[in-house]
Copies of this chain bind each other. A is one copy, B any other.
Amino acid sequence: MTSTPPDLTFPQGFQAAAMAAGIKPSGRTDLSLVTSSHDCMWAFAGTRSTTAAACVTRNRALAGTGAPVRALLVNAGNANAATGEGGARDNAGMADAAGSVLNVPAEAVLTASTGIIGHRLPMDRVLSGVEHLPDELGTAAAPFAQAIMTTDTHPKTAHATLSTGARLVGTAKGSGMIHPDMATMFAFVFTDAQVDQAALRAAFPGVVARTFNAVTVDGDTSTNDMAAVLANGLAGPVDQAEFLSALEGVMRDLARQIAADGEGATKLLTVKVRGARSEAEALTAARTCCVSPLLKSAVHGNDPNWGRVIMAVGRSGAAVNIEAMTVAVQGQPVFAGQPLAYDAAQVSESMKAAEVVFDVNLGVGDATGEAWGCDLSAEYVSINADYTT
């Protein structure tokens, strides 16, 4: 995993600005804008929640048109979710205002909101902020990565350079953001590679499934989760396979950073599943392990209690041949159709690491999947027990 280099810049043609508009009570930066000098091909994935926020609904509708985009406006501190028709108007108003100051159609502006649910946006502050943001545009990525955070403990970026010199710069906010209300996750990747939009959109759901959607902190699904990639083509054509591989690497890096920064987390939990009937079942089994409060608690306590893996896999519904199933903890085999003898104290010691890895073979096929989570600490409870009151 990479930390955000202070001098990381966006790919050619992209610029960003961030400011403290007064949405977060803390006074930190909370309103940010990314622009592209040229039209972007793009792909989008939004939350599967049936109570999705207006920003998700609007972006999804825009994706349906196939039209290019030019900007992304993000606010943190207020999710603008469950705010009724007034909230939907506020969301459209954000895009209208950004389009107006940037002299592009409102439909070329994506929006994203994260924070507490059920409160109307302070639109006066948002709109005067949008007026001001274009004066602050620059090529540095750090201010944007910082401004989209809620309770993340640090900004999250990842980047890659292709053989042609085209670059990808990704930023994310993660599940350390339950603070205002929930585990809203954002992942935004900007690239100057020239890509075919149809091919990008065909590949993006799979990339999202294996990266962004393989992160779980508490199993809760935000009304506002979204991932998007914007490509302005300024660096010219690239090899499609090389690009997709780099995109997946950037998204994977961001996903692991999000998991490691989960609320109250002290370590990263990685579950690698193989021998599954399908990639979907492998991912489901891995995710179900990562979300299990029992397994997460055991990982917190450095407890090699692999029975909780058997339990979580069983719960996931993925096909299993338990006679052929194997489980290893930090490389130590502990189950192979039946319990194996091992040195529990030694394995417990090996779990006192920044990352705890379970390897699970379901014994029924050839498909693989990997998911990331974090341990469950008492701090998670105290962080979430009384936010609004």
Among B82, B335, B345, point to the contact of A339 (Cβ < 8 A).
Answer: B82
Measured in the bound complex, the distance between the Cα atoms of B310 and A49 in whole Å is 10
Asked if A192 is at the interface (CB within 8 A of a chain B CB), the reply is no
Binary contact track A346-360/B, C-beta < 8 Å → 1, others 0: 001000000000000
Known: A50-B317, A220-B311, A314-B52. A301 touches B182 (CB 8 A): no
| A366-389 CB contacts (< 8 Å) to partner B | 376-378, 380-389
Residues of B within 8 A of A381 (CB): 297, 300, 376-378, 380-381
Q: With an 8 A cutoff between CB atoms, is A84 at the interface?
A: yes
**Other-chain residue from B81, B335, B389 in contact with A348 (beta carbon distance below 8 A):** B389
Please indicate the chain B residues that have their CB under 8 angstroms from the CB of A32 in the complex: none
Whether A134 is near chain B, meaning CB under 8 Å from some CB there, is no
Chain B residues whose CB sits within 8 angstroms of the CB of A320 once the complex forms? 50-51
B-contacting 9-mer, from A14-22, A97-105, A113-121? A113-121
Which residue of chain B has the shortest Cβ distance to A321 in the bound complex?
B50
CB of A150 closer than 8 Å to a CB of B:
no
Q: Output the nearest chain B residue to A221 by Cβ-Cβ distance.
A: B315
B51 x A389 contact (CB < 8 A)? no
**The stretch of A196-204, A230-238, A286-294 that contacts the partner chain:** A286-294
Bound-state CA distance A320–B301 (Å) is 40
A209 interfacial contact with B, CB 8 Å: no
Which chain A residues (278-336) contact chain B, with CB distance < 8 Å? 291-294, 297-298, 300-308, 310-320, 322-323, 325, 335
A377 to B85 CA separation, bound complex (whole angstroms): 36
Q: How far is the CA of A335 from the CA of B117 in the complex (A)?
A: 11
Q: How far is the CB of A84 from chain B (nearest CB, A)?
A: 3
Tell me the nearest residue of chain B to A47, going by C-beta.
B314
A241-289: which have CB < 8 Å to B?
A: none
Which of chain B's residues have a CB closer than 8 A to the CB of A222? 311
Least CB distance from A71 to B in Å reads: 27
Complex Cα distance, B260 from A150, in Å, reads 33
Establish whether residues A303 and B386, one from each chain, have CB atoms under 8 Å apart when the complex forms.
Answer: yes
What is the CA–CA distance of A82 and B334 in the complex, to the nearest angstrom? Answer: 11
Residue of B with least CB distance to A86 = B338
B residues in contact with A4, CB < 8 Å: none
Q: Chain A 100-136, CB within 8 Å of chain B: the 1/0 string?
A: 0000000000000000111110000000000000000
B223 near A317: Cβ-Cβ < 8 Å? no
The CA of A52 and the CA of B381, in the complex, are separated in Å by 31
Whole-angstrom CA separation of A314 from B304 in the bound complex:
34
Tell me, rounded to whole Å, the shortest Cβ–Cβ distance linking A322 to chain B: 6
**Cβ of A1 under 8 Å from chain B:** no
Q: A219-B292, A302-B386 are in contact. List 15 more A-B contacts (CB 8 A).
A: A50-B313, A50-B314, A50-B318, A51-B313, A79-B307, A81-B307, A83-B338, A84-B338, A118-B307, A118-B310, A118-B339, A181-B305, A298-B384, A344-B389, A381-B381
- What are 9 A-B contacts defined by CB distance under 8 Å? A81-B307, A82-B335, A84-B323, A87-B338, A181-B308, A218-B293, A303-B385, A303-B389, A305-B388
